[in-house]
Amino acid sequence: MNTANKDIHNTDDHLQKQQQLETLKSIVADALSEAQNQGATACDASISKSHGFSVTARMGDVETIEHDRNQGLGVTVYIGQKKGNASTSDLSPKAVKETVAAACAIARYATEDPFAGLPDVDKLAKQIADLDLYHPWSIEPQQAIDIALQCESTALEYDPAITNSEGATLNTHSGAQVLGNSLGFLEGYWTSNHSVSCCVIGERDGAMQRDYWYTVARDHADLDSAISVGRETAKRTLRRLGSRSLSPRPCPVLFVPEVARSLIGNFIGAISGGSLYRKNTFLLDSLGQTVFPEFIRIHQQPLLTKALGSAPCDAEGVATQTHDIVSAGVVNNYVLSSYSARKLGMQTTGNAGGTYNLTVEPGQQDFDQLIKTMNTGFIVLELIGQGVNMMTGDYSRGAAGLWVENGEIVHPVDEVTIAGNLKDIFRQIAAIGNDVDHTSSIRTGSILVENMVLAGS
């Protein structure tokens, strides 16, 4: 976004941030030595601190200004194989001491767990690469309000059918993460996150529909303009006016990127350590097994500069991995922390805390070509409810979208469900679009699934 405020890498700010990071590191170091003094045989501690504000404009006027300032210290102690956690929002030396004491008290009561413990020392990140994740935005609330107002008014003025609004919001936050453990690891870095989002309501024949759009980036210079977000919000709301339900039928289903991400998220959940060692997954023992068609590749790229899902190390300080999770349709890597890896007799994959920039290899077709390929079927624009049984893979969720016949969008649809089993859904992926949304930490194009059951009335 182009505003009068240029993002200047102010040397003073840089120095000040370095100093703050050193202060936070010293608090973490104090917590670690305190834990060892209190009898911990191993420990880790982390601080996250963030500050920023958000403004919302609604119906042409400012509605809210919220200032945030968060901080928290989390301490995990091990007394032998017994583990305890405690956390506090107070970083004073007294509170740190008390928090460590609370964690130790819990560890004394916990049961011995042979798999508990810090990561193996050779897995820890050797260096914290600068991934260019910190771009503070020196914007005043009034400028932020002006941007939000511009975004919302663009959406409201786009078409007379847009009649109401949930508002437009600008959010800007910066934060520091610091992590240390008794193996000598002590690292930290700053990140920033800025977004502009909008949600408006349209009305036709007495029925209202809403939709939203947003832009998000580490660096405000990479945000889409407020006008383009407003315009896209209006278009998305308009295409849903006149929605109606459909009678039950099996049909192909095309998930747009914003909802296709959730299918990939379901897959990651099913191959995550916690689900695997608890046997709470429909993809038990799937390592080396074919789960997707051969053309599917899902790779993790944690070290992309400026990306939203980037991190030099995971929540345990383990180096994050650039590798294929799925290649040629086969599960190549699980998603494991040190603990779940030990439970499974494996090695950590550096995924304590989740995955980092998953990319589903895009196909050749754009969204319009995918609609032609589908020919007749349902485009999912929104999913509501949970409706996913991770144990069995049974899938049944509320949906809204567009009905397509002979390669053309016929009418918008709501009050329907789509159902199937995730194992079948993954196997029946017919195509991945090239319409990849690069701003998400799960980067995928639209996903076309050959057959699901749609129900409505």
Partner 1 sequence: MDETSLLTTAQQTILTPADIQQSDIDRLMGELCATQIDAADIYFQSIRHESWSLEDGIVKEGSFNIEQGAGVRAISGEKTGFAYTDELNVNALLEAARSARAIARSGQQHNHKVIYPKQPVSLYSADDPLLSLPTEDKITLLQRIDRETRALDPRIEQVMVSLVGVHETVVIATHDGLVSGDVRPLIRMNISVIIEQNGRREKGGHGGGARTDYSYFLEENRAMEYAREALRQADVAMQAEPAPAGNMTVVLGPGWPGILLHEAIGHGLEGDFNRKGTSAFSGRLGEKVASPLCTIVDDGTLEKRRGSLNIDDEGTPTESTVLIENGVLKEYMQDTMNARLMGMRPTGNGRRESYSHRPMPRMTNTYMLAGESEPEEIIASVQSGIYARNFGGGQVDITSGKFVFTANEAYLIENGKITRPVKGATLIGNGPDVLTRVSMVGNDLELDSGVGTCGKEGQSVPVGVGQPTMKIDGMTIGGTQV
Q: Segment 290-329, which members bind partner 1 (CB under 8 A)?
A: none
Phi, psi dihedrals of residue 164, rounded to the nearest 5°: -155, 175
Site for partner 1 in 33-62 (CB under 8 A): 58, 61-62
Part in contact with partner 1 (CB under 8 A); list of ranges 228-236, 326-334, 361-369, 419-427: 419-427
The residue (of 209 and 338) whose beta carbon lies closer to partner 1 is 209
436-455 footprint of partner 1 as x/- string (CB under 8 A): -----------------xxx
Site for partner 1 in 231-250 (CB under 8 A): 243, 245, 247-250
Cβ 305 to partner 1, closest distance in Å?
29
Cβ 71 to partner 1, closest distance in Å?
7
Type of residue numbered 381: L
CB 286 within 8 A of CB 271: yes
Sequence-ordered alpha helix ranges (H) in 75-140: 93-109
Type of residue numbered 427: R
Look-up of token digits 């995550």: 272
- Picking from 397, 402, 398, the residue whose alpha carbon sits closest to that of residue 378 is 402
The residue (of 62 and 346) whose beta carbon lies closer to partner 1 is 62
> In angstroms, what is the C-alpha Rg of the chain?
24
- 373: contact with partner 1 by CB under 8 A: no
Site for partner 1 in 187-226 (CB under 8 A): 201, 207-210
- 26: contact with partner 1 by CB under 8 A: no
CA distance linking residue 160 with residue 138, whole number of Å = 36
Size of the site for partner 1 (CB under 8 A): 76
Site for partner 1 in 110-149 (CB under 8 A): 110-113, 116, 141
Tokens of 22: 């050193």
DSSP 8-state class, residue 24:
H
Angle (deg, nearest 10), helices 226-238 and 141-157: 30
- 396: contact with partner 1 by CB under 8 A: yes
The residue (of 133 and 381) whose beta carbon lies closer to partner 1 is 381
The residue (of 328 and 384) whose beta carbon lies closer to partner 1 is 384
- 181: contact with partner 1 by CB under 8 A: no
**Interface residue with partner 1, options 187, 258, 414, 450 (CB under 8 A):** 414
CA distance linking residue 390 with residue 47, whole number of Å = 32
The SS3 call for residue 250 is strand
Part in contact with partner 1 (CB under 8 A); list of ranges 176-184, 329-337, 351-359, 381-389: 381-389
**Interface residue with partner 1, options 309, 362, 420, 433 (CB under 8 A):** 420
Look-up of token digits 């941007």: 147
Give 425's contacts (C-beta < 8 A, 6+ positions apart). 263, 395, 449, 452
CA distance linking residue 277 with residue 273, whole number of Å = 6
Residue 220 neighbours by CB distance under 10 Å: 25
61-90 footprint of partner 1 as x/- string (CB under 8 A): xxxxxxxxxxx-----------xxxxxxxx
Part in contact with partner 1 (CB under 8 A); list of ranges 330-338, 353-361, 377-385, 441-449: 377-385
The residue (of 14 and 278) whose beta carbon lies closer to partner 1 is 278
The residue (of 93 and 407) whose beta carbon lies closer to partner 1 is 93
CA distance linking residue 244 with residue 209, whole number of Å = 11
Give 118's contacts (C-beta < 8 A, 6+ positions apart). 42, 44, 78, 181, 182, 183, 316, 338
DSSP 8-state class, residue 104:
H
The residue (of 280 and 347) whose beta carbon lies closer to partner 1 is 280
Measured at the alpha carbon of residue 114, what is the angle toward residues 112 and 117, in degrees to the nearest 5? 95
CA distance linking residue 311 with residue 323, whole number of Å = 14
Site for partner 1 in 253-292 (CB under 8 A): 278-280
The residue (of 17 and 249) whose beta carbon lies closer to partner 1 is 249
The residue (of 259 and 307) whose beta carbon lies closer to partner 1 is 259
CB 240 within 8 A of CB 202: yes
CB 300 within 8 A of CB 355: yes
Cβ 101 to partner 1, closest distance in Å?
10
The residue (of 85 and 332) whose beta carbon lies closer to partner 1 is 85
- 418: contact with partner 1 by CB under 8 A: yes
**Interface residue with partner 1, options 391, 405, 409, 411 (CB under 8 A):** 391
